[in-house]
Structure 1
Amino acid sequence: MLKKLLVVLLCSGLSYTYADTIKTDVLVIGGSASGTAAALQCARSKVKTILVEPGPWLGGEMTSGGMCVVDANRNLPSGIWGEFRKKVREFYMKTPGFDTTRNAVLRFEPYTGAAILRKMTDTVKNLTLKLNTPWTTVKKNGTGWEVTITEKGKTNTIKAQVLIDATGTGDVAAKAGVSFITGFDSRKDTGEQLAPENALPVIQDITWCAILKDYGRAADKTIAKPEGYDPAQYDCLKGKDLLKMVQGGKLPNDKYMIKWSECANSYKASVDLLDPKNREQYYKETRLRVLGLIYYLQTVGGLKNFSVTDEFGTPDGLPPIPYMREYRRAKGQIRMVLDDILTPYNRSSKLYRTSIAVGDASPGQHFVDKRGPQTPYPPFPAYSIPLGTVVLPDAENLLVTEKALSTTHLVNASAFYPSVQMVLGQGAGTVAAYCAFFKTTTKHLNVRTIQGEVLDFKGYLMPFSDVPLTDPNFRAIQQVGATGLLKGVQQVNGKTAAVLFKPDSLVLTAEVEPVIKEIYTRAFLWFNKAKPAEQFTVGNLLSFISEITLTEPKVLNSTLEKQWQANYKFKQAFDLNRPITRREFAVLTNKYLNPFARTVDLSGKLVN
């Protein structure tokens, strides 16, 4: 007996002895849409990266949550999101019925989406992927972090210079002691006119999606009656065309996404229910309700040929995680409020100047809880997400994405969408890579250097949907737009508003004069002398360039006259007296004056 005990103790000791300590530059926890994009970006920026995901798939709610009909950011195919979208479209290009329109809603099978993301990570150097790997503890280690993981039955420690919490629940940041805000913010707290007068402890519903397959009219795929099934729970569906509703979530290969509200498969959520100690039981109960919905469709609805698939590998055929719209938001260096979207240029802070991502998702409002008011959002414009929303003031070198992003409740209602999060994840990855590459911390960030890296990897800073990545002047227009010299113009279309650059429109002196004077100290002297008219001319810009760069005017004019169409491919002829277009202004200003080089802080203020 004693001998056996010694053997057990010896084996236990050996197991502990051989536990590994793994060092990396960046550790991303959570293979969500944002986490996958963040890890890809870090690795492509040539820093050593590890991505840890407790489940078997990448993509988070977009794949493992079955939320695979993605309608946001169709006109803003920024960076990794645009790459993923393109690969999905190419995969299904020859599938009958698949919509190949340039900006069509993206629809895919969850397994396929996860497989495409996995292939994207497999082809990148500097990235180590650890699937089916739970994490347990998080602690600070100097300016870096230590995280323990369970890998193949063994507890290992990862030491990272930078840590990204890309979990949908913000659990990593919570373990690290980060402060959070939940529910509706009050109008007094945020200054948002559409916020309620008093804060409300209400968060948006979760939806447990289901992916059903049509097995043919003759098939009977009725599942076993779920525990606790009560058809009265689905009374809101009485009298509705259930087949039509199912077909509204059409996916390729005779599959359908069920993501309904009311009494169907959306459920009241709360901070308490989503707390880790209650989460498993809450998920179990809501899964049973979804199975009850499927049983209802098959029996009461007569759709016995529609049933779950085996692609998720779960015992009940449902996605392993729900689609969560909201939980807790970290108190970041910057909190993004609704006016940063609706009127970004009219605020004392100029957060658009610090953008690392763009979004255009219409805000969702899903509340089984009747205390949740329906906010009367105006037509919702595309927007930029500022860098400071992923940075935590009291947790150096820890970045947040997903629902932990530092926004108000009213902003989160748009920012939580998977396509927006994928764009954000790339931006957060760029921030992490900057800290790792330059051996610095989130307290010493260079906004313009980080933004330059985003642009290097085909990301958007400004949500200009009329200047695509293929435009030869895309980067110049993005950089000048990020200074505020030329502002985006909102074009309302129903409940949304595209943000346009309008490259062929003319430049107004009143628009550019304040920002020119803010950036260039000698500008007021030039304006007093030149006195440009209402419309800024080609001659005005060349004169100002000459003034700032100390270039002899005749030499500059002669050079540009030769290059005007040969090099720059401008449509209109060279004419000093002609009003200048926004495209011409952006390209020449970016080339000769480089306003983007002016340093800004996390509030967008110019730093001398």
Structure 2
Amino acid sequence: MLKNLLITLLCLCAIHTYADTIKTDVLVIGGSASGTAAALQCARSKVKTILVEPGPWLGGELTSGAMCVVDANRNLPSGIWGEFRKHIREFYKKMPGYDTTVNAVLKFEPYTGAAILKKMTDTVKNLTLKLNTPWKTIKKNGTGWEVTIVEKGKTNTIKAQIVIDATGTGDIAALAGAKFSTGFDSRSNTGEKLAPEEAIPVTQDITWCAILKDYGKGADKTLPQPEGYDPENYASLKGKDLLKMVQGGRIPNDKFMLKWSDPGISFKSSPEQLDPKNREQFYKECRLRVLGLIYYLQTVGGLKNFSTTDEFGTPDGLPPIPYMREYRRANGKIRMVLDDIFTPYDRSSKLYRTSIAVGDASPGQHYVDKRGPQTAYPPFPAYSIPLGTVVLKDVDNLLVTEKALSTTHLVSASTFYPSVQMVLGQGAGCVAAYCAFFKTTTKNLNVRVVQGELLDFKGYLLPFSDVPLTDPNFRAIQQVSATGMLKGVQKVNGKTAPVLFNADSLVTTAEVEPAIREIYTRAFLWFNKEKPGTQFTVGNLLSFISEITLTEPKVLRSTMEKQWKETFKFTLPYDMNRPLTRREFAVLTNKYLNPFARTVDLTGKLVN
């Protein structure tokens, strides 16, 4: 009896010493582009944060997936994404031929990208990084969560108030009970005119990128023939200039990214294949086909001097993860649809008012499965991503990013890009930090406070490519435009449509009156009395400021005249009869009326 009791006590002691419990405010699971940005933002917002990544690198598809030629969001260097771009350019700026133009397509070696992200996390307080740390389970603990991880062979438990699922596959959210949709949504389901009449169970292909290095003309780096190799798998490459195709993906240091739509590197995928119980086998098959492609290039194509490198640390030299465009989309409190991109100001909901991220990626359409139709997107505008898309509808205190973002299929074709996701991750980090700092839940979010934190850290709310962060009026323009007083203008440029603020253009009464009336209850009295003309003048705005702030008109005009050039740095003359520019309207309205202070809910509706 005594012996059994002692054995039991020893076992209990062993278990106690074996398993640790770690407490944190925010736990980010997945060191993807969004996960890394989210963790950085949470830590910079001064909440205790842990970032758990099963692999050895940060960056997800940008680095571990070798998606290292990035053209999206290069005109929208929001926050952490802009910081990452700057570090990459600084690293390569002395390399001959490297394009350091501010908005150039970003090209880098995967290892370098991962190292830069690691250095960024190393310099931030309040952030604990756990690489090579798989997670196992998640369960609710009051309003927070308990997640078990395996750290150096030891199973530990992390207790967190807020969890961010940045895994790319939504596995954490799925285990926590989130609901998802997959494939093409039907038109009746989303209201999107470009959606098919009936839902189609097809998801976009995954691509297993590869990085090849040119070892020189005399080198023979031919791989051993891969298992199951069949040259007919690559028959579509016959007659093509393979050297030119390889060199089209040039990155620094004589390396080349392979990212083709041809068979051998892109693969039909489905929720069944990507399900955790089938994923490992599916990935193995994909990797063998990619190795077969490289072997084909070396043997049939004569490119035996091109081969894999050892930078990924994998046995076969391939990136450890694929470039995944789509899997499953979570049901969020808000679902973003195409009309939120094409006509954001014409909807009953005003989701642009709740933005926590911006994007401008052209929609990808990659379907080996012939059932996947090619959607005839009009020129695609830059857009804002609403806060409610990262907040789960039925699960509190768990946020989602990456492919689990709450959008329709047609919207996810743009939001999945890693550069867009890095911007989104920072926004999600602000949401998580808000909940942690104010000790509240995702049921009680204050959109404006979250957005204010994002602006403090150089994030964009509206995708204005003509108002850079260096503009002295950047914040005023962002805040006033987030109320709907001033609207962005889409300028079609081929297949895209950048959104411009047009700071020097003139303000019309028709543009600003609806939002002014909505925000200020006494505005209708002023409009009925003043009856402003077609153009909204300096005098009109000062009169309205006087009405709302109860400032004596002569005092306001005198003060404004003194501050016009000295304080506000306006270049046009102070003239009460002159029509206002959009810049002047934004700066003065933000300063004296502060419409951004009006609370809005997750749909963008004003809250009294």
TM-score normalised per structure 1: 0.98
* Residue of structure 2 equivalent to 1:90: 90
Q: How does 1:351-362 map to 2 (within 5 A)?
A: 351-362=351-362
Q: How does 1:225-304 map to 2 (within 5 A)?
A: 225-304=225-304
Deviation of 1:277 after TM superposition, in Å, equals: 0.4
* Residue of structure 1 equivalent to 2:156: 156
Deviation of 1:263 after TM superposition, in Å, equals: 1.2
* Residue of structure 1 equivalent to 2:221: 221
Deviation of 1:245 after TM superposition, in Å, equals: 0.8
Q: How does 1:116-195 map to 2 (within 5 A)?
A: 116-195=116-195
- Output one character per residue of 1:473-518: Cα deviation in whole Å (capped at 9) or x when no partner: 0000000010000000001110001000000000010010011000
Q: Which AA in structure 2 matches 1:50?
A: I
* Aligned residues: CA RMSD: 1.2
* Residue of structure 1 equivalent to 2:606: 606
Q: How does 1:319-398 map to 2 (within 5 A)?
A: 319-398=319-398
Deviation of 1:223 after TM superposition, in Å, equals: 0.5
Deviation of 1:438 after TM superposition, in Å, equals: 0.2
Q: Give the Cα–Cα distance (whole angstroms) in 1 for the partners of residues 236 and 565 of structure 2.
A: 64
* Residue of structure 1 equivalent to 2:210: 210
Deviation of 1:18 after TM superposition, in Å, equals: 3.5
Q: Which AA in structure 1 matches 2:29?
A: I
Q: Give the Cα–Cα distance (whole angstroms) in 1 for the partners of residues 299 and 262 of structure 2.
A: 20
Q: Give the Cα–Cα distance (whole angstroms) in 1 for the partners of residues 83 and 542 of structure 2.
A: 39
Q: Secondary structure at the match of 1:486?
A: coil
Q: Give the Cα–Cα distance (whole angstroms) in 2 for the partners of residues 48 and 323 of structure 1.
A: 31
Q: Give the Cα–Cα distance (whole angstroms) in 1 for the partners of residues 560 and 237 of structure 2.
A: 67
* Residue of structure 2 equivalent to 1:456: 456
Q: Give the Cα–Cα distance (whole angstroms) in 2 for the partners of residues 548 and 456 of structure 1.
A: 27
Q: Secondary structure at the match of 2:37?
A: helix
Kept after mapping to 1: 8 A contact 2:264/2:292: no
Q: Secondary structure at the match of 1:492?
A: coil
Kept after mapping to 2: 8 A contact 1:262/1:368: no
- Output one character per residue of 1:399-430: Cα deviation in whole Å (capped at 9) or x when no partner: 00000000000000000000000000000000
Q: Secondary structure at the match of 2:492?
A: strand
In structure 2, the CA distance between the partners of 1:12 and 1:141, relative to structure 1 (3 Å rule), is closer
Deviation of 1:15 after TM superposition, in Å, equals: 4.2
* Residue of structure 1 equivalent to 2:418: 418
- Output one character per residue of 1:218-264: Cα deviation in whole Å (capped at 9) or x when no partner: 11111011011111111111111111111111100000000000313
Q: How many equivalent residue pairs?
A: 604
Q: Give the Cα–Cα distance (whole angstroms) in 1 for the partners of residues 514 and 467 of structure 2.
A: 25
* Residue of structure 1 equivalent to 2:22: 22
Q: Give the Cα–Cα distance (whole angstroms) in 2 for the partners of residues 209 and 15 of structure 1.
A: 43
Q: Give the Cα–Cα distance (whole angstroms) in 2 for the partners of residues 259 and 9 of structure 1.
A: 57
* Residue of structure 1 equivalent to 2:494: 494
Q: Which AA in structure 2 matches 1:527?
A: F
Q: How does 1:423-462 map to 2 (within 5 A)?
A: 423-462=423-462
* Residue of structure 1 equivalent to 2:79: 79
Q: Give the Cα–Cα distance (whole angstroms) in 2 for the partners of residues 160 and 495 of structure 1.
A: 44
In structure 2, the CA distance between the partners of 1:153 and 1:15, relative to structure 1 (3 Å rule), is farther
Q: Give the Cα–Cα distance (whole angstroms) in 1 for the partners of residues 10 and 134 of structure 2.
A: 26
Q: Secondary structure at the match of 2:424?
A: helix
Kept after mapping to 2: 8 A contact 1:180/1:329: yes
| 1:580 is the counterpart of 2:580 | yes
Deviation of 1:266 after TM superposition, in Å, equals: 0.3
Q: Give the Cα–Cα distance (whole angstroms) in 2 for the partners of residues 550 and 387 of structure 1.
A: 35
Kept after mapping to 1: 8 A contact 2:18/2:155: no
Q: Which AA in structure 2 matches 1:481?
A: S
TM-score normalised per structure 2: 0.98
Deviation of 1:393 after TM superposition, in Å, equals: 2.1
Q: Give the Cα–Cα distance (whole angstroms) in 2 for the partners of residues 179 and 570 of structure 1.
A: 52
* Residue of structure 2 equivalent to 1:564: 564
Deviation of 1:206 after TM superposition, in Å, equals: 0.2
Q: Which AA in structure 2 matches 1:110?
A: P
Q: Secondary structure at the match of 2:147?
A: strand
Q: Give the Cα–Cα distance (whole angstroms) in 2 for the partners of residues 188 and 439 of structure 1.
A: 40
| 1:404 is the counterpart of 2:398 | no
- Output one character per residue of 1:147-174: Cα deviation in whole Å (capped at 9) or x when no partner: 0001111110000000000001000000
Q: Which ranges in structure 2 are unaligned for 5 or more consecutive residues?
A: none
Deviation of 1:77 after TM superposition, in Å, equals: 0.2
- Output one character per residue of 1:338-395: Cα deviation in whole Å (capped at 9) or x when no partner: 0000100000000000000000000000000000000000000000000000001211
Q: Give the Cα–Cα distance (whole angstroms) in 1 for the partners of residues 115 and 8 of structure 2.
A: 41
Q: Give the Cα–Cα distance (whole angstroms) in 1 for the partners of residues 522 and 48 of structure 2.
A: 45
Q: Give the Cα–Cα distance (whole angstroms) in 1 for the partners of residues 10 and 509 of structure 2.
A: 80
Q: Which AA in structure 1 matches 2:441?
A: T
Q: Which AA in structure 2 matches 1:169?
A: T
* Runs of 4 or more above 2 Å deviation: 6-13, 15-18
| 1:468 is the counterpart of 2:433 | no
Q: Give the Cα–Cα distance (whole angstroms) in 1 for the partners of residues 369 and 12 of structure 2.
A: 50
Same amino acid, percent of matched pairs: 83
Q: Which AA in structure 2 matches 1:474?
A: F
Deviation of 1:8 after TM superposition, in Å, equals: 12
Greater mean alpha carbon deviation, residues 258-267 or residues 35-44: 258-267
Q: Secondary structure at the match of 1:541?
A: helix
Q: Give the Cα–Cα distance (whole angstroms) in 1 for the partners of residues 65 and 389 of structure 2.
A: 25
Q: Give the Cα–Cα distance (whole angstroms) in 1 for the partners of residues 306 and 97 of structure 2.
A: 19
In structure 2, the CA distance between the partners of 1:192 and 1:576, relative to structure 1 (3 Å rule), is same
Q: Give the Cα–Cα distance (whole angstroms) in 2 for the partners of residues 162 and 73 of structure 1.
A: 28
